[in-house]
Structure 1
Amino acid sequence: MNWVHTTRLAVLGVVSLFSLIVLALSANWISVTTTKLHLYYNYAALGVATSVLTFTLPVMLIIDLLRRGAFTSMILVELCWLGFLWVMWLATGALAADNLGGFVDGCSSSFFANWWNTGCSETQAITAFSFLNWIALTGYLALLLTMSILAANRGGPVWMTSVKEANFAPVNVNMSGAMGTPEHKGQLGTPMQQPSLQSYPPQQPGYSSPA
């Protein structure tokens, strides 16, 4: 298990927990407004939708744990899906923050009913947790994309592998074979003796040189 995978488990776990909080707050506020005002606010509905979509993250983690090489565990697929959730959480937080201006005198006004002040506090919490999820996804996406590009530049097949199986460590090149002591291919024997020019032509057996 590499440290990127450990970071992945921590970030996606926190994002899933915050999504559960946003889902509960948004659903409660929708229930209150439909009862009291016979309507619901768009940011609350978007909070429910984004939270439900984010619950796919624990499913992805479970599939990655139980099955090796699953399609949902590929880094390329994970980057695309988390990028989509990144946009959704940014939109949820921005829309909820924009609607905070509709709560006059803050969340503790004595002029409005208690349920309205409670809704104001819930909207503040929806805004905060939405932006926290957006920030967490921003950091993890930047980390995963950077490490994947660096690993791909070193020749590692990372895009179609999971974060758990990917090798993000730098490659250690062993230069001992290339720059170390050269290997001896064979022992150099005694050099062959070349014929002397003074004895040319060579004497044949049975013949003597002329006097």
Structure 2
Amino acid sequence: MLYVARVVVFTFAIIFAIIVLGLAAEFTHTTRNVLGTTFNFAALAISTAAITIVTLPILMIVDCFSAGAVTSMIIAELIWIFVLWVLWVATAADAAHFNSIDFGSNCSIVRPFLRRGCREVQTVEGFSFIIWIMLLIYWVALLIMALIGRRRGRTTWKSSVRQGDFLGTREGAPVATQSGQAHTDNTSQPPMQQQQTPMQAPPPNAPSQGYSTQTAPQGPYQTSQGQALGRENVV
């Protein structure tokens, strides 16, 4: 589930970063030709968008072909995503500050030839905030799941998101069997094997297997014989 969220967040972040890169480059080109200057927020937006467009596809592609790479480790991804969302929140804040100072946060009151630039700045600001929120939410979710997996004894820091077993069974915990009893891998010999005793040999006078013998009832015979012997003794 977390891996699917990772793909979705990275994909939309790349798409929005391409939009920010195009708008910031267009705004910089216009201000350089008209005013002969550039603005810091636009340069920061271009740099942040370019870094995002280059690095996020690398994280996705390398993870698909080599899960054991350094870039696929959760600890490395947490560090890099932290850097990205810090850059994006700085870009959004800088664009918002420029918009409030130069355009008054309202493109309808500025001069007509400046409205296009005002809309570009507002769009850069909006997409920068969206990318920052998406990356921040994913970063917090990944950190929480990694901590849960670590408490369960998993080596989550060096594993990838695609192979991470965050909510699996705790390592070393007892596993329930079909009989309802719990046991671990280091248990001793099963009770059934411990209670087994060697079979006793049959008595010498026991009949062979496959044949049956018929015995007369002992109780009545002994009683009648005893009575007969008693009578002979009396006579």
- TM-score, length-normalised on structure 2? 0.73
Aligned-pair identity in percent equals 35
**Aligned 1:54-65 pairs, distance under 5 A:** 54-55=52-53, 56-65=55-64
1:167 alignment partner, SS class: coil
Q: Post-superposition shift, 1:80?
A: 0.1
Q: Post-superposition shift, 1:60?
A: 1.3
Partners of 2:148 and 2:167 within 8 A in 1: no
Distance 1:131 1:161, change over 3 A: same
Aligned twin of 2:196? 187
The answer as to 2:92 corresponding to 1:93 is yes
Question: Comparing 99-108 with 10-19, which one deviates more in the overlay?
Answer: 99-108
The answer as to 2:142 corresponding to 1:136 is no
Q: Post-superposition shift, 1:88?
A: 0.2
Aligned twin of 1:12? 10
Q: Post-superposition shift, 1:71?
A: 1.1
Counterpart code for 2:107: C
Alignment partners' CA distance in 2, 1:104 and 1:187: 90
When the two chains are superposed, the root-mean-square deviation of aligned CA atoms in Å is: 2.0
Alignment partners' CA distance in 2, 1:35 and 1:17: 28
The answer as to 2:108 corresponding to 1:108 is yes
Q: Unpaired runs of 5+ in structure 2?
A: 185-189, 199-235
Question: Comparing 95-104 with 125-134, which one deviates more in the overlay?
Answer: 95-104
Alignment partners' CA distance in 2, 1:33 and 1:72: 38
Aligned twin of 1:149? 147
Alignment partners' CA distance in 2, 1:48 and 1:121: 17
Alignment partners' CA distance in 1, 2:140 and 2:105: 39
1:162 alignment partner, SS class: coil
**Aligned 1:22-37 pairs, distance under 5 A:** 22-37=20-35
1:108 alignment partner, SS class: helix
Q: Post-superposition shift, 1:183?
A: 1.4
Distance 1:104 1:141, change over 3 A: closer
Aligned twin of 2:222? none
Q: Unpaired runs of 5+ in structure 1?
A: 190-211
Larger gyration radius, structure 1 or structure 2: 2
- TM-score, length-normalised on structure 1? 0.81
What do residues 133-189 of structure 1 show as CA deviations (whole Å, max 9, x unaligned)?
Answer: 11001110111000000001000011011101111233174142449xx71303368
Structure 1 runs of 4+ off > 6 angstroms? none
The answer as to 2:166 corresponding to 1:168 is yes
* Count of aligned residue pairs for this structure pair: 184
